[in-house]
Amino acid sequence: QASQEELKAAYRRLCMLYHPDKHRDPELKSQAEQLFNLVHQAYEVLSDPQTRAIYDIYGRRGLEMEGWEVVERKRTPAEIREEFERLQREREERRLQQRTNPKGTISVGIDATDLFDRYDEEYEDVPGSSFPQIEINKMHISQSIEAPLTSTDTAILSGNLSTQNGNGGGSINIALRRVTSAKGWGELEFGAGDLQGPLFGLKIFRNLTPRCFISTNCALQFSSRGVRPGLTTVLARNLDKNTMGYLQWRWGIQSAMNTSIVRDTKNSHFTMALQLGIPHSFMMVSYQHKFQDEDQTRVKGSLKAGFFGTIVEYGAERKISRHSVLGATVSVGVPQGVSLKIKLNRASQTYFFPVHLTDQLLPSAVFYATVGPLVIYFAMHRLIIKPYLRAQKERELEKQRESTASDVLQKKQEAEAAVRLMQESVRRIIEAEEARMGLIVVNAWYGKFVNDNSRKNEKVKVIDVTVPLQCLVKDSKLILTEASKAGLPGFYDPCVGEEKSLKVLYQFRGVLHQVMSADNEALRIPKQ
């Protein structure tokens, strides 16, 4: 947001500080030349409206982007942004053939009803009958990958295998999707399986207005019984910024009409749906609360009632690593009984384990389905997950330190050189501030502070920045903007990848004050 006048004033100030002619010592003169050149390069970028617009939007990577040499001068920031995005698109298209988007699901159904629905008289003469029998009674595996053909065409290959109680089958599908415009796309699908005949399908998506879209899916399923057509149409509309309304009509196998309202905000997700159909009609209400914590914890509950019975579900999910989310849901229904569903999302792969506990409504089954996963999760989190993540973070930090070691060393040398060059200016600033009872920085530290007892084993990593901060004092004021303080003159990053703060002990009007500021937090002292 700085004006050209502010940039010129800052440039003149740093030029006076780092000008080689102001230093007679050969070593200081050499260091001053290097810093003077860096300041000049920065001013060249920021004083030109075009290069400044590029830097403001994209930083250094924007200035280093190939292709700017062909961009005409005297363009507006909006045109420069558009040109940059065009260059990025061209680079992405060159890497298009190397990209796929794999998605997969593995579901393993477990029958554990023997834990709660045992009848002892049936097991009297059976060897090993004292142990409950837990069986895997069904499995499902599906996988899909995308192969971009051009910037608008994509081929999708998918397949699935299912088995239940020893019987099963599979199918394979290939789809060709074309993005026809910014408002829509179309997709042709062909499939075949060992249990059913060929499948031909057509999907169309279209934005009718900025707030409304429609999608249609037509399918023809060939089998020994003849051709079974199917049609599904969905009309959706934004009711407000966070709410969507859906109308769905499905004709063919399991014909139905469905209407639903979905409200999704930063803290919650609410869904209400009503379906009238053959063979199932139902009403469903679900609510999910999103906690704004580091682990992205979510707690959810739902009620579903229809011709098939009534089901109540409740559960939670939590992020256990950067790419993994673990969730558990307890399902209690009539006549379905009690089930526990465990789900693990790892990147684009989903692992699902539905465990059927009992066909009856037993309080003991509900209790163990609720408490058991919680006890196991907290034990694993404390004994396995937390130590693993801590070790992983340390390895990543160590790797980051190694990769940036030479750069950090250079920044450190530049900062130390800048501090030596600032000494004379700081002495004059302190004399002027003392004369007017103004702002004097007594001590200042920047880096990682350990104030929490739980982190007392961690090492404090700070550097003394008293001189650089005093050099920034002007008219008894120190103003720092919202940006990492590691980029200030005389500063460098003492702990790459870790949380940093700035701690300042200063004197104003003869009274001592102390302030602590986060790395990217704006700071203005003295406080008003």
Q: With beta carbons less than 8 A apart as the criterion, state whether 268 and 289 touch.
A: yes
pLDDT value at residue 119? 54
pLDDT attached to residue 74 = 47
Higher pLDDT, 83 or 93: 83
Domains of the chain: 4-93 (1.10.287), 101-117+134-254 (2.40.160.40), 409-525 (no CATH)
pLDDT tens digits, one per residue of 451-462: 665 555 566 788
Min mean pLDDT across 71-85, 133-147, 362-376, 399-413 is at: 71-85
pLDDT at 21: 83
CB atoms within 10 A of CB 390: 10
What average pLDDT does the chain have?
86
pLDDT in tens, 341-381: 999 998 889 999 999 999 888 899 999 999 999 999 889 88
How is 231-267 classified by DSSP, letter by letter?
EEEEEEEEEETTEEEEEEEEESTT-EEEEEEEEE-SS
**Distance from C-alpha of 252 to C-alpha of 229, rounded to nearest angstrom:** 6
The partner residues of 311 in beta bridges, in order of sequence, read: 304, 333
Distance from first CA to last CA of the chain, Å, rounded? Answer: 23
pLDDT band at 77 (very low <50, low <70, confident <90, very high): low
Q: For position 474, what pLDDT does the model report?
A: 86
Those residues with Cβ within 8 angstroms of residue 273's Cβ, 6 or more apart along the chain or in another chain: 258, 259, 260, 261, 283, 284, 285
**What's the farthest any 2 CA atoms get from each other in the chain?**
102
Among 49-53, 360-364, 496-500, the minimum mean pLDDT is found in 49-53
Arithmetic mean of pLDDT, 212-218: 95
Per residue in 321-343, pLDDT tens? 878 899 999 999 998 899 999 99
Cβ atoms within 10 Å, residue 4: 11
Q: State how beta strands 103-111 and 337-346 pair.
A: unpaired
Tell me the chain's radius of gyration from C-alpha atoms: 33
Q: How far apart are CA 19 and CA 32, in angstroms?
A: 6
Helix 49-63 to helix 77-94 angle (10° resolution) is: 20
Core vs surface per residue 437-449: b (16+ CB within 10 A) or e: ebbbbeebbbbbb
Specify the pLDDT at position 120: 47
Q: Which residues contact 274 (CB under 8 A, 6 or more apart)?
A: 258, 259, 260, 282, 283, 284
Average pLDDT over residues 292-319: 92
Task: Name the pLDDT band for 66 (thresholds 50, 70, 90).
Answer: low
Q: Which residue has the higher pLDDT, 407 or 131?
A: 407
Lowest mean pLDDT among 107-111, 212-216, 275-279: 275-279
Check: CB of residue 215 under 8 Å from CB of residue 203. yes
Instruction: Check pLDDT > 80 for residue 123.
Output: no
* Interval 52-63: pLDDT, tens: 877 877 777 777
